[in-house]
Structure 1
Amino acid sequence: MASTQQSRILRVGLLQDGRILEERHLRRPGDFTVGRDARNSLVLPLSDDLPDSVPVFEYRANQYNLLFNAGMKGRVHLGSSDVDFHALRTEGMALQRGEQYVLPLQESARGVVELDGELRLFFQFVLPPPESDKPVLPPDLQGGLWRTMDRVFFGILAASLLLHFSGAALIIASEPPLEPELSLDELPDRFARVLIPTRPEEPKPQAADNAQATAATEEKPKASDSDDKPATEASKPANAQEAAARRAEVVKKVAGKGLLKILGSSGSNGGGAFADVLGGSTGGGDIALALAGAGGVGVATEASVGTNGPRGGGTGNVAGIGDLGTTGGGKVDLGSKKEVQVSGRVSSATPEVESSDVDREALARYIKARLKAIQNCYEKELKRNPSLKGKVMVRFSILPSGRTGDIEIEENTMGNDAVASCIRTVIRGWVFPFKPDDEVPVAYPFVFTPAG
C-alpha cells in the first residue's frame, strides 16, 4: 500500500554553543529575515556586530532560495556532498544578483549559516508537525468543576436558595386577607379633613367706602374747573393800552436774553442787527410787532406756495415723494448660486509589504475599493487650489487584530498638510481582513492630479 506524500515545510533554528535558542516552522511560505530589528522573522540577541536585518531565505516560484553575500560563511548539503559558500560562489552553483548570491533549495537540502561568532543558523525541510500536539494530563490529575468547588460554600448557598424560594412560593400560594369596608363615620379624622375642607371666611362689605371715594374724586375736578376759570379770565387784557403795556414788558424781558440780546446789541442804523434785518424800524416794540404773527412749524405744499412759484424768481411746483417714483422698471434676476464642480484623480501603485503574512494583491484590492474616501480628501482642497497635485507616500502597519497601527506620511510633494491629515484619518478607520502573527509594515503611494 503506497503512502501518500506530504509537502515539507522549512524549519529554521538559532544555535549558540550547541544549544537551540529558538526555532521556527514556516507553515506559510514566505521570505525569512534575521537581525536585531523587531520586525524580522527571527530576532537575534543584542550585539553591536550583528546587522539590523539580513535576508536569508526568499520564496519565489513555489521554491525557497538561500541568500548570502561574499562576507558570509556556511555550508549546504546538496545531494550526497557538503559544499561551503566559497565553493558555491567560485564554481557558479549560485546565481549572482548584485551583491548577493542566490541558491535554489530542494526539499532534501539542509545547511548551516554562520552569523557572528558563536551564533549559527541551521535549516532543513521537515514534515509539518501536528498542530494539536499538547500534553494531556492523566485522569487522576485532571481537574473538574466538582473537585475545584468549595463544598462548604456550595452547601450554604443551596440551603439559602431553598429557604428563600420556599418562602416566596408560600406567599404566592396563600390567599390575601379580606379588607373590611368602612363607612364615612368610621374614617379617621385625617381623611375627613382632606375630603371636607373648611370654608374660607367671607370678606367684609366695602360698598360704603367705595361710594365715599367715588364722591371725593367727582368733587375734585369741579373745584379745579372753578379755579381755572378766574385765571383764564384774568389773563385777558381789559383794553388796548393794557395789552400794549404787557407787550412792552415781555419785549424788555426777552431782549436781554439769548440770541435776541446779541441781535439787538449793535447795527448799522443804531437799532441793532435785528433792526437791519427787519428794516428801518428801531426799538423793542418793533421786534414785538415783527414777531407778533409768528406761528409754529408748517409743511410747505403746492397750495401754500401759490401759483407764483418759489421765491427767488422762476416758476415751478413742489415735488412730492410720489413724483420721484420711476416708471417702466423691470425685475432684475440675479440667478441662483451654484457650486463649481471640481474633481480629481487618484492613482496608486503596488504596496510595499515587508512580510509574507499579508498578500500584496489582496491588500491592493482592499485599498483600491476605498479610494473614493481618499479622493474626497483631495477634492476638498482642490476647490481652494485648482492647481493642487502631487504624491503622498503613506507608511502604516497592520496589527495582528487587523487594525492599523502607527501611520506616518513619509513623502508629501503636494505641499498641503490638510490632505495628508485627512488621509491619515481615513486609513485609521480601516479594518483589514488580514490577521498576521506580528505587526506588518506597509508603504503605499497615492498620486493626485486634477481631472479637468
Structure 2
Amino acid sequence: MASTQQSRILRVGLLQDGRILEERHLRRPGDLTVGRDAKSTLVLPLSEDLPARFTVFEYRANQYNLVFSAGMKGRVHLGSSDVDFEALRADGMAMQRGHQYVLPLQESARGLVELDGDLSLFFQFVPPPPAAEKPQLPPDLRGGLWRTMDRVFFGILAASLLLHFSGAAIIIASEPPPEPELSLDELPDRFARVLIPPKPEEPKPRAAETAQAAAATEEKPQSNDAQDKPAEATRPANAQEAAARRAEVVKKVEGKGLLKILGSSGSGGGGAFADVLGGSTGGGEIAAALAGAGGVGIATEASVGATGPRGGGTGNVAGIGELGTSGAGKVDLGSSKKEVEVSGRVTSSTPEVESSDVDREALARYVKVRLKAIQNCYEKELKRNPSLKGKVMVRFSILPSGRTGDIEIEENTLGNDAVGSCIRTVIRSWVFPFKPDDEVPVAYPFVFSPAG
C-alpha cells in the first residue's frame, strides 16, 4: 500500500451550492482538519453548528482513514457502489472509536461528506500533478550582482584592499636592515646613567658642628683632672681634723647593725661590747677598742695575753688558717614548695535506661573506660577541699545519632557546682556506639570519695 500512496495523493475540495470554494492536494501525507479555527487545514465559513476544529482524514500506518461522527451524513464509493454513512455504521464496515467512526480508504475510494447545510467536502485519490514552475522575470529585468552593487563603493573597497595587501607583501619580501653592534663607549649617556647610577655625594660637615666636636675633645682631659681633685681635697689637713672625722663616723655607725647590739648595756655594766672584748678594753669607747683593727689575723697565746681566754680555763687559741674545710654542703632552707598529691575514688552504679534499644551493660562498660575524665573533675576540686565527697546523679539522653542530648545534674550531694559543670562538659563530648530509633533518657549515678 505504501507504493500506491506514493503514486497517488489525496485531493480534497470544499463545495458550497455546487461551487468549489477551495481545493487542496496533500502532496505530503498527513492529517486534514476542517473547522472555524485558523489552524485548520480548511477554514470553513463562520457557523455556530460546526466545531472549531475537526479531523476528517487521518494518516495512520501509511494509509488514509475517513473519520466521521454519528450525526454526520455522506456517502463513499467503494468498488462499484456508493455506500452512505448509515450503512457503513450498520454493516460494521466502519470501526467505532468512542463517539467517532473510522473507515480505511483505498486508492479507488472517493466520496462526499456533508458538513453543514449547503457546505460539503469531496475527496478522491489522483495522480500528483506536475510541480508548477516558479515564475521568473525576463532576462532583461532579472538584473544581477553587478547591477545591484554600488559601483563607487566597490571601487573604493578594491583600491584600499589592493594598497594594503601590496604594502604588506613588500614589507614581507624585503630583508630587514642589519643592526650594528655597539661597544660600551658608543652607548648614549642616557643608558649609562640608567645602568650605572652616580654615587651620591657625602654631606659636608657644617662649621658649627666641627667647632663643637673640637671643644668637646679639649674638655675631656679637664674633666678627668676635675675628677681627681676631689680625692685630694677630701684628705684631712691635720691630726685634729682627722680625729673629728673619725668621731663623726663612729657616732653614725654606733647605732646601726651589729654595733648597735654590741653597744647595748650588758650584765657587767660595761655593755655587751665590753663583755666580748674582755677587761682589756676597760669599758672604753668603741673607737678606742677598734683603733688597732687592721683586718683579720691569727690569734696566738702572746696576742691574747696572760689572762688567757675568758671563763678562767686554760687552752690554746687556734686561728682561721688552722681550720680545714672539705667541700660545700647543701642546706634545705624550706623555701621550695612541694605540692601534696591528692587522689580521689569514683564508683558508678548501674544506670537507669528507659528503652530496650540501649544495653545497660554495654553502656556501663563504655562509661567505665572513660571514668578517668570524671575522676579528674573530682580531684581538681578535692585539692581545694580535702573533705569533699558525695554523690552526683547525671541525667542525659542518647540521640539517634549516638551523641548526647540534654544533660542535667539531677542530684549533687557534694555541694560543689564546679564538679557538676565539669562532668557535663565531659559527657557532652561522648559519642555512644548505640543508634536508637528515638531519643533514650539515661540516669547515671557517680559516687566520689577521697582515696586516702
TM bucket, shorter chain:
0.3 to 0.5
Which fold has the larger relative contact order, with Cα–Cα distance below 8 Å and residues 6 or more apart in sequence? 1
The TM-score with structure 2 as length reference comes to 0.37
The TM-score with structure 1 as length reference comes to 0.37
